[in-house]
Structure 1
Amino acid sequence: MNRYAIRAIYRFEMARTFRTLMQSIASPVLSTSLYFIVFGSAIGSRMVEIDGIGYGAFIVPGLIMLMLLTESISNASFGIYMPRYAGTIYEVLSAPVSYVEVVIGYVGAAATKSVMLGLLILLTARLFVPFEIQHPVWMVAFLILTAVTFSLFGFIIGIWADGFEKLQIIPLMVVTPLTFLGGTFYSISMLPPLWQKITLFNPVVYLISGFRWSFYGVSDVDVAVSFGMTLAFMLTCVLVIWWIFRTGYRLKQ
């Protein structure tokens, strides 16, 4: 394992984050804070409790997960797309660095940025709504696992995309709607029976449900199923990335 190569890629990606603090850090925190102000403080004070939890506190895990998914995908996809766009990806491919080390460097940096943002938004939420974390270890585990999984997914999107507009198609047209329909602002038990069954085909339901369980001990789906679904999706992403480097898909063109 070439630790120097991993560290070089990782430090380069992290340095880019700190050069663009307003876009990378301040913007997601500000936009999520607006959700807390509108839904948590303004609307939440007029809403009934859900599963014995105040509405403002109930939506905290969902909003953190919404940010985590979109930022993980965005960070990882942009990180690998720019070397392809600029042509410097060939320097990486011709260097004595394995694809495992390349993936660890780029995905590790993207996941680190997402986890940092998640923790920062968690602290910001405390300013607007009171909440508790019953299972802090599991909360951190779900946070890291989700960040790594969707950073891998973003890495795939960054290789697949052949233009800047395609980098935003999946996050905006697929991931964000699935997150809003996956129990971010409500419990799926509030839906009619037919829609409850349909909603279970939404993979984001399992992420939000497991993450919310780590906060309040309540979930729409069994926590073991949530954890297993996340691991399964991560494994799928790893297999796709292995195939990409094995075949050179969009890397050697």
Structure 2
Amino acid sequence: MNIHAISAIYRFEMNRMWRTMGQSIVSPVISTSLYFIVFGAAIGQQMGAIDGVSYGAFLVPGLVMLSLLTQSVSNAAFGIYFPKFTGTIYEILSAPVSAFEIVLGYVGAAATKSLILGIIIMLTATLFVDLKIAHPFWMLFFLVLTAMTFSLLGFIIGIWADGFDQLQIVPLLIITPLTFLGGSFYSIKMLPEFWQTVTLANPVLYLVSGFRWSFYEISDVSPQISIAMILVFLGICTGIVYWIFKTGYRIKS
């Protein structure tokens, strides 16, 4: 394995985060803090506890997952699209670097950025609510695998996109709505039975539910199903990336 190549790609992408600190870290943290203030402090005081958890604390896993999903996709998509846009992707492809090493560098950096942001948001949440983590191992499990999976998805989007506008289509029009409708701000048990059944078709529900279970041991679906779903998503994204490099889809033409 070419450790130097992986390290070079990884450090280049991480340096981009430090250069754009305001956009990469500060802006999402401020936005999430506003969610805590408006929904947790203002609206939350008018709502009762959900399964014994205060509404403000109930929001935390959903807000972390919302930021994690959108930032993972955006970071990885832009990271691989920019060298494709400038043409430097061909220098990378012609270098003695395998497809696995290229993906590891870009996806590893995108996932790391998202994990840093997720941890900062959780630390920020402690300023507003009494945050408790019942299962730290499983919390990290969901956090890391979700960041990796959606960074892979972002990598796929970056390869597929023909323009900068297309980089935002999936995060804004698909990922964010699915997260909002996936139980981030409420339990699906609060919905009518018909809409509970419809919501079960939302894949993000399983990620949010499993992540929330790791905090408070409450969930809308079985934690085992949530774990299985994230592994399935990871396998699908890995398979698509393998196919992209095997066929050269939009990277060798």
TMscore range, shorter length: over 0.9
Tell me what 1:45 maps to. Answer: 45
- Moved beyond 3 Å, runs of 4+: none
Tell me what 2:240 maps to. Answer: 240
Q: Residues of 2 paired with 1:225 and 1:141: CA distance?
A: 14
| SS of 2:237 mapped into structure 1 | helix
> Identity of paired residues, percent?
67
Q: Residues of 2 paired with 1:97 and 1:59: CA distance?
A: 43
Deviations 1:158-204 (A, max 9, x none): 00000000000000000100000000110001111111111000000
Tell me what 1:19 maps to. Answer: 19
The Cα shift of 1:128 comes to 1.1
| SS of 1:231 mapped into structure 2 | helix
Q: Residues of 2 paired with 1:139 and 1:241: CA distance?
A: 26
Q: Residues of 1 paired with 2:220 and 2:232: CA distance?
A: 19
| SS of 1:59 mapped into structure 2 | helix
Tell me what 1:97 maps to. Answer: 97
Whichever residue aligns with residue 237 of structure 1, its letter is C
Whichever residue aligns with residue 232 of structure 2, its letter is A
Q: Does 1:221 align with 2:221?
A: yes
Tell me what 2:159 maps to. Answer: 159
Count how many residue pairs are aligned between Structure 1 and Structure 2: 253
Q: Residues of 1 paired with 2:12 and 2:132: CA distance?
A: 36
Q: Residues of 1 paired with 2:242 and 2:140: CA distance?
A: 27
Unaligned runs of 5+ in 1: none
Q: Residues of 2 paired with 1:131 and 1:94: CA distance?
A: 49
Deviations 1:15-42 (A, max 9, x none): 1100110011101111111101100111
Tell me what 2:250 maps to. Answer: 250
| SS of 1:221 mapped into structure 2 | coil
Q: Residues of 2 paired with 1:137 and 1:239: CA distance?
A: 27
Q: Calculate the TM-score normalised by the size of structure 2.
A: 0.99
Q: Residues of 1 paired with 2:20 and 2:165: CA distance?
A: 20
The Cα shift of 1:131 comes to 2.0
The Cα shift of 1:46 comes to 1.1
The Cα shift of 1:130 comes to 1.4
| SS of 1:16 mapped into structure 2 | helix
Q: Residues of 1 paired with 2:160 and 2:51: CA distance?
A: 41
Tell me what 2:231 maps to. Answer: 231
Whichever residue aligns with residue 117 of structure 2, its letter is L
Q: Does 1:113 align with 2:144?
A: no
The Cα shift of 1:137 comes to 1.1
The Cα shift of 1:45 comes to 1.1
Q: Calculate the TM-score normalised by the size of structure 1.
A: 0.99
Q: Residues of 1 paired with 2:80 and 2:197: CA distance?
A: 37
Whichever residue aligns with residue 18 of structure 2, its letter is F
Q: Does 1:83 align with 2:83?
A: yes
Q: Residues of 2 paired with 1:240 and 1:140: CA distance?
A: 25
Whichever residue aligns with residue 96 of structure 2, its letter is P
CA RMSD of aligned residues (A): 0.5
Q: Residues of 1 paired with 2:148 and 2:33: CA distance?
A: 24
Whichever residue aligns with residue 28 of structure 1, its letter is P
| SS of 2:168 mapped into structure 1 | helix
Unaligned runs of 5+ in 2: none
Q: Residues of 1 paired with 2:209 and 2:9: CA distance?
A: 34
Q: Residues of 1 paired with 2:33 and 2:65: CA distance?
A: 14
Q: Residues of 1 paired with 2:33 and 2:252: CA distance?
A: 42
Whichever residue aligns with residue 181 of structure 1, its letter is L
Whichever residue aligns with residue 62 of structure 1, its letter is G
Deviations 1:19-70 (A, max 9, x none): 1100111011111111011001111111111111100000100000000000
Deviations 1:101-157 (A, max 9, x none): 000000000000000000000000111111211111111111001000000000000
